[in-house]
Amino acid sequence: MTAIRSTAGRFADALETALGMLAAVILMAMLALVVAGVVLRYVFHTGVVGMEDLGIWLNIALISAGLPLTLSGPLSMRLDGLVRLLPDRASSVLAAVADGFSVVAGLILCLGGREAIALLGGMSPTLGLPEWVRFAFPVAGGLGLLVLLCLRRLERSSGARLIFGFALGGFVYWAVGRFAINIALPASLPLALAAALGLVAGAPLAHVFLASSYGAIAFGALQTEQAIIANTVAGMSKFLLLAIPFFLLAGAFLKLSGAAGKLVQFAASLVGHYRGGLAQTTLLTGVLFSGASGSSVANAAFAASTFHPELVRHGYPPARAGALVAASSVLDNVIPPSIAFLILATATNLSVGALLVGGLFAGLLMAVCLAVAIRLAMGTASGAPPASAETRRRAGIAALPAFVLGLIVVFGIRLGIVTTTEAAGLAALYTLILAATSRRSGSSIVAAFRQSAAEAAAIGLLIGAAAPVAFLLAIDDIAGLVRHLAGLFGGSAVAVLLLANVLLLVAGLVMDIGAAILLLGPVLLPVAVSAGIDPIRFGVVLVVNLMIGGLTPPVGMLAFVVGGVTGLSPESLFRAMRPFLLALLTALLVITLFAVPV
């Protein structure tokens, strides 16, 4: 038995390593392609037909290569807080149920994808390749998911869990296609119940979406298994999505080059001498670093490893220090560049540039509110001596390379000089040059590509898997239901904003941020527009609201990230989060008031 476990573990590790390297190579190719496109367009005033479509196909290949990696770890986006609180026997049963969701998702991608390929015909007019190739990538990813699941369960001697999970998933997959259950309710209701079961069981979020969409077919959902695959691939097939891995790369390279550390020193020179100076430095660094990664999770991990030990050493309570780190990291998905706004733009076709400008003002307001909360809740620890003007000047000059990154992204997009994807590609190239010239090893640069590719694959899979769910919500006219509820409160813009904020705050308690944007954005935005609310301002309200959900129990993704880095329990972080939550909710109130039409 020990030999089987060891062999399975080695094969699983080898598979994950190979998939990670494959995803990294694909990401390198994507970056080279986009940069080449920028050079051809702006230097030689020409282009190559099919470059955009090739980028989309490569992104689907990247997501498919990283798809099996979403089975475990942070990339799985599991909401497994409840499972950890249950007795061993109950948690084991739920874990097997979670595996069942992953099995259904893998079978949909493999078998459903194969059937979709059989129905496809035609060639890509720009690439000259058969259209079925684009759908073959998720099929391979689904197969890799099933193989890796089997290997990991064998490695951990979880034979019973393996058998039960595959038997449950296989039975559900078989039964949905053969039985029909007639209910006098929309099919989105059983979909929501199935998704709730998957979330409680701690199944990976993207797998929950795929399996729940498929299960709704038995209850009369107006989509087939092939349509689920088609919607999933269509959700991934947007050129804008290439900006996500590039922004993740930019943040990784900025940290690797040491430029992020220069931002910390510059922030300390500006505010380190105030009461609670180190806490204020943590916040200001979060504001400055927001222009780098666009990812709150990345910023939370960076700040937790960089600032938390120093905050504790200077007399701040560990839990309160961790709560500050988590609250400050919210800004990274509000102040541009923001992956959350990119996801919202993908789901609703809103202007990315306008959303980023709105996010800049909202993020600065949130930072001011947090600074006040720090002053009141963490102002007892003394600050450092004031920095001299010369020290600040030198720190500012040293931090200039990081500020240039913000100029490339924000002004490049807002002024229409480059597209969002091109700006993200240039940002990744710029920070890659910074990392290379700082004499970082080639292996560390490759590792940054691997990590960014894996994270981007997880986000891309979530976006694709949410597409069939969003389609079913649209078919069942959930937006009309929300509009009706708003009508009960008068139907005014104020009523819509109030109802939307309540719904979003509740959703933020139990949903991943990206998933909530993908599902609720297309539902709530038409309601807001019909009430006369500016769609950009409402988009800002939506993102800010859901980002606050990253700090609230039971999900609280940012609290879990900080807890994982610092060793603090999420429960202690949630308790210590209260003054910062109050500050952020105050900012949300002000932002909401600005969204009310005059």
Per residue, the 3-state secondary structure of 302-357, as one string, reads HHHHHCHHHHHHCCCCHHHHHHHHHHHHHHHHCCCCCHHHHHHHHHHCCCHHHHHH
- Residue 292, pLDDT > 60, answer no
Q: What tokens were used for 147?
A: 């193989």
23 pLDDT band, cuts 50/70/90, is very high
DSSP letter, residue 293:
H
Nearest one of 241, 242, 236, 258 to 35, comparing CA atoms: 242
Neighbour tally for 44: CB within 10 Å: 8
Q: What distance separates the 2 farthest-apart alpha carbons in the chain?
A: 75
Single-letter amino acid code for the residue at 310 = E
Please state the φ and ψ torsions of residue 192, each to the nearest 5 degrees: -65, -40
Q: Distance between CA 576 and CA 574 in Å, rounded?
A: 5
Nearest to 140 by CA among 248, 224, 26: 26
Tokens of 60: 């689907």
Residues above pLDDT 70, as percent of the chain: 86
Summarised one tens digit per residue, pLDDT across range 240-256 is 788 888 887 887 887 78
Find out whether 558 and 584 touch, Cβ atoms under 8 Å: no
* Beta pairing partners, 130: 123
- Residue 15 has a pLDDT of 92
Condensed to tens digits (0 to 9), the pLDDT of residues 539-583 reads: 999 999 988 988 887 667 677 767 766 777 777 888 889 999 999
Residue 448 has pLDDT above 80, yes or no: yes
Higher local confidence (pLDDT), 14 or 295: 14
Residue type for position 356: L
Please give the C-alpha separations between residue 416 and each of 354, 409, 411, 413, in angstroms, as whole numbers: 11, 11, 8, 5
Tokens of 71: 């089975």
Identify the residue with better confidence: 25 or 118: 25
Report whether 95 contacts 203 (CB < 8 A): no
Nearest Cα neighbor of 347 from 207, 236, 437 is 236
Higher pLDDT, 310 or 595: 595
Asked if residue 82 has pLDDT above 60, the reply is yes
Are residues 457 and 23 in contact, defined by beta-carbon separation less than 8 angstroms?
Answer: yes
What mean pLDDT do residues 57-71 have? 92
Per-residue pLDDT, 110: 92
For 51, 164, 248, 423, the CA distances from 37, given in Å and listed in that order, are: 7, 50, 20, 12
Q: Is the pLDDT of residue 260 over 60?
A: yes
Q: What is the per-residue pLDDT for 379?
A: 59
Residue (of 248, 254, 314, 242) closest to 282 by Cα position = 314
% residues pLDDT > 90 (the chain)? 20
Q: Letter for the amino acid at 521?
A: G
Q: Please state, in angstroms and rounded to a whole number, the distance separating the CA atoms of residues 95 and 511.
A: 19
Q: Which residue has the tokens 């994950």?
A: 16
